[in-house]
């Protein structure tokens, strides 16, 4: 769907091939938009996300049996994230969750929503559940920034506690999020009222911001995006989804054996790292480009972003054996650039690496 907010004065459409077609890329100054999200408050149009709805008496136990999340312990008016894995524990689907008003809502990438809904529908059998596509009914806005509480007060919106969900008057809900940044919330609003809600939030002081700024903040927060930072081999441990989207204290589900085995007795073959890229803004690698040490390919590039403080950064899946101090090259042909690993992005369970090891290297 194409957002009506693309017609708002100052809105710039994304470039061809962008993963965020249909919503504004920026509103004239993407770096100022990022600074507002970091220092005050900004609102992002994310109405290109799909929204699925699962109703019925068995919705929590049914989703509990199919996904990586502990839905039986989720509780009413709570949010979370979930994965659907294949039999080998590789990620097939990711969604952000809200259990509110007798319905579980799953917002996910539009490109994979059809496949997720098809899988859920096939797995209904005799359960009292009704999965359906609610994308035409609901749209996602995300608000980020330390002045989030004040903005909601001025807008007359109740701000839930961390991972809490509150229904909105007139339909939809607000869900408190732990990312990007320290203060964030999603408003899932009636699609027909998207423009009204945008005006309400911007009139109350939120700066209009586009997908360029949101993606930069997401990359900085080390949050993966399905199909961009993951490939067909990705397991949850590699991309920081253990804990947020995978609950380790729950019963059997497809792919659970791999999750348990890697958690208890092994280590994932790759890890998602934040890379700082050298060079000009005009020369950037693309999603799927190789990460190289010497002449050996050791990983793949995921999201690439221009950050208001960090410069050009990227998330990359890199072999666990690559040292944090390694000199990397990323990209192909005329977009090859040098890159270095941000030591703070190294998972703390990596032997000899992580934040403490990074500090020791400087002694």
Q: Are 297 and 290 in contact (CB under 8 A)?
A: yes
Distance CA 268, CA 174 (A): 35
What confidence score (pLDDT) does residue 351 get?
44
Residue 280's pLDDT band (cuts 50, 70, 90): low
Distance CA 324, CA 160 (A): 39
**Domain ranges for the chain:** 4-49+136-221, 269-362
Q: Are 302 and 339 in contact (CB under 8 A)?
A: no
Query: With 50 as the cut, is the pLDDT of residue 359 above it?
Result: no
Distance CA 158, CA 164 (A): 11
CATH number, domain 4-49+136-221, options 1.10.150.120, 3.30.70.20, 3.30.1360.120, 3.30.210.10: 3.30.1360.120
Residue 266's pLDDT band (cuts 50, 70, 90): confident
pLDDT in tens, 27-59: 999 999 999 999 999 999 999 999 999 999 999
Residue 145's pLDDT band (cuts 50, 70, 90): very high
HEC readout, the chain:
CCCHHHHCCCCECCCCCCCCCCCCCECCCHHHHHHHHHHCCEEEECCCCEEEEEECCCHHHHHHHHCCCCHHHCCCCEEEEEEEECCCCCEEEEEEEEEECCEEEEEECHHHHHHHHHHHHHCCCCCCCEEEECCCCEEEEEEECCCHHHHHHHHCCCCCCCCEEEECCCCCEEEEECCCCCCEEEEEEEHHHHHHHHHHHHHCCCEEECHHHHHHHHHHCCCCCCCCCCCCCCCHHHHCCECCCECCCCCCCCCHHHHHHHHHHCCCCEEEEEEEECCCCCCCCCCCCEEEECCEEEEEEEEEEEECCCEEEEEEEEECCCCCCCCEEECCHHHCEEEEECHHHCCCCCCCCHHHHHHHHCC
Query: With 80 as the cut, is the pLDDT of residue 360 above it?
Result: no
pLDDT in tens, 285-332: 999 999 999 999 999 999 999 999 999 999 999 999 999 999 999 999
pTM here is 0.94
CATH number, domain 269-362, options 1.10.3720.10, 2.20.25.10, 2.40.30.110, 3.40.50.1360: 2.40.30.110
What confidence score (pLDDT) does residue 282 get?
77
């Amino acid at each position: 769907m194409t957002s009506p907010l693309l017609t708002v004065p100052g809105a710039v459409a994304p470039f061809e091939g962008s993963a965020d077609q249909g919503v504004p890329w920026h509103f004239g100054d993407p770096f100022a938009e990022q600074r507002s999200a970091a220092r005050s408050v900004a609102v992002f149009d994310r109405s290109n996300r799909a929204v699925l709805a699962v109703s019925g008496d068995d919705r929590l136990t049914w989703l509990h049996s199919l996904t990586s999340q502990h839905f039986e312990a989720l509780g009413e008016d709570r949010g979370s994230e979930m994965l659907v894995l294949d039999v080998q524990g590789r990620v097939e689907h990711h969604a952000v969750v809200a259990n509110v008003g007798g319905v579980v809502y799953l917002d996910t990438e539009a490109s994979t929503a059809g496949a997720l809904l098809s899988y859920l529908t096939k797995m209904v059998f005799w359960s009292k559940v009704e999965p359906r596509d609610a994308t035409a009914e609901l749209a996602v806005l995300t608000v980020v920034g330390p002045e989030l509480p004040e903005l909601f007060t001025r807008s007359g919106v109740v701000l839930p506690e961390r991972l809490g969900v509150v229904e909105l008057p007139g339909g939809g809900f607000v869900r408190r999020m732990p990312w990007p940044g320290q203060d964030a919330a999603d408003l899932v609003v009636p699609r027909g009222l998207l423009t009204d809600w945008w005006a309400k939030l911007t009139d109350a002081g939120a700066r209009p911001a586009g997908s360029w700024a949101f993606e930069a903040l997401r990359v900085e927060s080390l949050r993966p995006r399905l199909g961009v930072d993951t490939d067909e081999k990705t397991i949850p441990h590699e991309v920081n989804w253990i804990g947020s989207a995978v609950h380790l204290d729950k019963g059997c589900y497809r792919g659970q054996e791999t999750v348990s085995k890697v958690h208890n007795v092994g280590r994932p073959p790759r890890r998602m790292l934040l890379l700082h890229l050298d060079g000009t803004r005009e020369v950037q690698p693309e999603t799927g480009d190789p990460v190289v040490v010497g002449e050996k390919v050791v990983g793949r590039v995921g999201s690439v972003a221009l950050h208001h403080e960090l410069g050009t950064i990227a998330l990359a899946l890199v072999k666990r054996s690559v040292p944090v101090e390694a000199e990397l090259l990323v990209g192909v042909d005329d977009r090859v650039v040098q890159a270095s690993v941000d030591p703070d992005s190294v998972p703390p369970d990596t032997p000899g690496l992580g934040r403490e090891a990074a500090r020791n290297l400087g002694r």
